[in-house]
Amino acid sequence: MAHRHSLRVRVAVAFAGLGALLSLLLAVGLWIAAHDVSQRLMDQTLKAELEDYMARRGRNPASLPPATTSLRGYVAVAGTANSELPTAIGRLLPGQHEIELDATPYRVAVADQGGDRYYILFNEERQRRREQGFFNYLVAGAALMTLLSTTIGYWLAGRVIAPVTLLAHQVRDAGPENPPQLEGLEQSAQCRDEIGDLAHAFDSYLRRLGAFIERERAFAADASHELRTPLAVIQGAAEVLADDADLSPAQASRIARIERAGQEMSELIAALLLLAREQSPGADEACDAEAATRAC
């Protein structure tokens, strides 16, 4: 048999799944947004530095390119050898590019002006470390949100299904002779909704069932008395007639048939009344049907 989970656990699992899904969607959205913003900022920085360097060099041809921890610049002067320019960079066309130099990732902006080609490199290593740290925070936040949603879901599930649990406890051992006390449950603040309607319907059903069983018991008692009394009279009269020594063989045979029929009818009535009687749980017993049939 499949393992059964309580309603509270199933509701908590649903909350946990919803929390995990929302956390995942939020984390993915934030990651995409953060990555896009970082790319835009790098592109804007590269564009601004490239335009600034081209403007400075236009005013002063001896102006040096940027050379910081994050930025590096090169210029390929037309008609001259550019020994300082890395080969991988020298092959790049104007535009935005992603390359690696000495296992270090760079984002490169390339532009032409006055026959010369300008290169500005942005070191992405620190940016990628920041993005990795942000990604770790997102994963931890998603896990925390999932755990929090599971905890809150379990608590809320207990609050939400409390009326159902109370109703289940009330009716678990209920029966016609032991009706549950549902009047107070119907009027409680927790059950002024469909649960209260269910409690009212269940209470009404048990009352009708109890009344039906009482009528059945009364009928069985009356039937037992009204049927057994005539049978007892018939059987007694048959026994008296059977003791008459003046009976002919044919008359004795008929009286014996009456006695057998009365005995069979008495046993049949007893069996029917036994079947109509309510049995307590666990009263059923195993029996050998073949042996019982042969005994008859």
CA gap 160, 14 in Å, rounded: 14
The answer to whether position 128 is within a domain reads yes
Q: Structural domain of residue 119, as residue ranges?
A: 7-155
The answer to whether position 245 is within a domain reads no
pLDDT digits (tens, 9 = 90+) for 182-194: 555 555 545 556 7
pLDDT at 287 over 70: no
The answer to whether position 274 is within a domain reads no
Query: Which two tokens mark 151?
Result: 């905890």
The answer to whether position 251 is within a domain reads no
The answer to whether position 222 is within a domain reads no
Nearest to 255 by CA among 267, 233, 228, 237: 237
Q: Which residue has the tokens 């900022």?
A: 41
Cα separations in angstroms, 50 against 43, 102, 183: 10, 23, 82
**Which residues, in sequence order, are CB contacts of 265 under 8 Å at separation 6+?**
231
The answer to whether position 162 is within a domain reads no
CA gap 50, 39 in Å, rounded: 16
The long-range contacts involving 270-276, CB below 8 angstroms and separated by at least 24 positions, are 273/220, 273/223, 273/224, 276/216, 276/220
How many separate domains does the chain show? 1
Residue 206: CA atoms inside 13 Å, Cβ hemisphere, count? 20
pLDDT digits (tens, 9 = 90+) for 89-102: 888 899 999 998 88
The answer to whether position 147 is within a domain reads yes
Of the given ranges (129-138, 194-203, 232-241, 264-273), which has the lowest mean pLDDT? 194-203
Model-wide pTM > 0.75: no
